[in-house]
Amino acid sequence: MALIEAASPHVMNTYGRVPIALSHGQGVRVWDVNGKRYLDGLGGIAVNTVGHNHPKLVPALQDQVAKLIHTSNYYHVPLQEQLAAKLVALSGMTNVFYCNSGLEANEAAIKLARKFGHDKGIERPQIVVFDNAFHGRSLATLSATANTKHQKGFGPLVEGFVRVPLNDIASLEQATANNPDIVAVFFEAIQGEGGVNPARIEYMRELRALCDRRDWLMMIDEVQCGMGRTGKWFAHQWAGIVPDVMPLAKGLGSGVPIGAVIAGPKAANIFQPGNHGTTFGGNPLAMRAGVETIRIMEEDGLLQNAERVGAHLKTAFEKAFAGNPGVKEVRGQGLMLGIELAKPCGVLVQRAADAGLLLSVTADSVVRMVPALILTQAEADEIVAILVPLIQAFLAE
């Protein structure tokens, strides 16, 4: 263990890491370098869609590595079109820009919104963002993010954001009334880092109508809640709406770095040659990872699995904690679940790991689970069997 604690003297100290080094995984299990086995309830923070060492993904990626890893966007990359055709069909939108991460996808969305405004003659475009939002750590996405702890030390922030509470259409209307510079509304269908807070179905519909009425772009950050995690391809689809701009990343490549911005007709032609770009974005390896991830999800029925096993897990937690005043709420949908406790509970991360379960605590007091979408009901029951007594003991302290 001493070896692990001192393992990274040359890596910048940006994470308070759990003193565990993982060596390999299989399905939803991972093993550390000392041979201890864990049930992976975190899935690399909602990234490992098909679990570890998937028998269909690994040979496909090996095949791609042997053919082409990278070429550059100076040339056509046929796999970009193959993945885009799929993403367009699944989302009901029309065009895709590729990048490498969630913040890059969001950065592109913010640039789209600004240029949408400039093209309409708005010199100082503003974007509506939300309390508890998390959109990334670049300067623009950090400015769109709500958490002042993350922002501290990095001012001046990027201007052009108006912040309002989530699920309160009256506040939004009030904050934007008589403001002709608003160009877009930007939100997560289910806030992840902010504590697993869903935007209500009715609220998303109201936002859609408002964006249409005022000619704003509706931009939904599905970086964490998208790609089948809630039981639909994209979490906003539970509201039956279609956004104008949708950033994706995390689960899209099953662990190969990838980001994408999907645009509908209102935003698809805003970027013209020279307006935006990236060296790595859309490279053949990442594109193959996206294509194969979606193929496996379809072949193996992972949306249905996420919905069914997620509902089972949520019900089990609700039952276990019913009447316990230490548990404020069990929230989320499918395999994106949060248990909000009445007190900060960061210590549970290490305790759960000691008990063989990987998870995270976000927003200080929310135990979060975003496992691979292959999780079985039996594995979900194992999570419950480990986690419920841990939380009960913690609340009794």
Ligand X SMILES: Cc1ncc(COP(=O)(O)O)c(C=O)c1O
Interface residues toward ligand X, by CB under 6 A:
101-103, 106, 134-136, 188, 192-193, 221, 223-224, 249
For strand 161-164 and strand 126-130, is the pairing parallel, antiparallel, or unpaired? parallel
Shorter beta-carbon distance to ligand X: residue 145 or 321: 145
Q: How far is the CB of 37 from ligand X (least distance, A)?
A: 26
For ligand X, the closer CB: 176 or 224: 224
- Write down the least CB distance from residue 397 to ligand X, Å: 30
Q: Are 104 and 148 in contact (CB under 8 A)?
A: no
Listed in sequence order, the residues at least 6 apart from 35 whose beta carbon sits closer than 8 Å to its beta carbon are: none
**How far apart are alpha carbons 307 and 309 in whole angstroms?**
6
Q: What angle, rounded to 10 degrees, do the helices at 201-214 and 169-176 form?
A: 20
Report the residue number, 27 or 259, with the smaller CB distance to ligand X. Answer: 259
Of the pair 148, 178, the CB lying nearest ligand X is at: 148
C-beta nearest to ligand X: residue: 102
User: Minimum Å distance from CB 379 to ligand X?
Assistant: 24
Shortest Å distance, C-beta 385 to ligand X: 28
Our CB check for ligand X shows the closer of 27 and 228 to be 228
> Which is nearer to ligand X, 249 or 391 (by Cβ)?
249
| Residue 210 structure tokens | 């408002």
CA distances from 288 to 13, 25, 52, 302, 372 (A): 33, 21, 17, 19, 19
Structure tokens at 296: 């496996």
Please, what's the b/e burial string for 296-332 (b: 16 or more CB within 10 A of its CB; e: otherwise)?
bbeeeebbebbbbbbeebbebbeebbeeeeebeebbb
User: Please, what is the minimum distance in Å from the beta carbon of residue 250 to ligand X?
Assistant: 6
Q: State the nearest-atom distance from the C-beta of 226 to ligand X, in Å.
A: 9
